[in-house]
Amino acid sequence: MTNDHCLFCRIVDGDVPADVVHETEHVLAFRDVSPKAPTHVLVIPKRHIASLAETDDGDTTLLGEVMIAARDVARGAGIDEAGFRIVANTGGDGGQTVHHLHVHVLGGRALGWPPG
């Protein structure tokens, strides 16, 4: 199920264009329009879930699929051996600006710590 008011749902539905780099039955990955690293891809479940805080125990398989897709994105970008970062911002204080669960796959350069 998608949400007509959600930007990422509109991407899933094909109403908003995106540079898709990976897709499965349940997951979509596309390049961030404002990249923070040479590789910056967003991996989302196609089903609308507002944030990680909105998941339940029944979402275990879907969350696993999101992480496997993130791994596959890193492999496809050639950053898996050098290293990459996965980030899931949750809620306002966590920096979430689009309220559809997503993980950022960042890499292609050395990333500093702490990130925030």
List, by residue number, the catalytic residues.
Answer: 102
How many of the other CB atoms lie within 10 Å of CB of 25? 6
Q: In terms of Cα–Cα distance, which of 79, 80, 97 is closest to 88?
A: 97
Token pair in block for residue 107: 């890499």
For residue 59, the Cα-to-chain-centroid distance in whole angstroms is 16
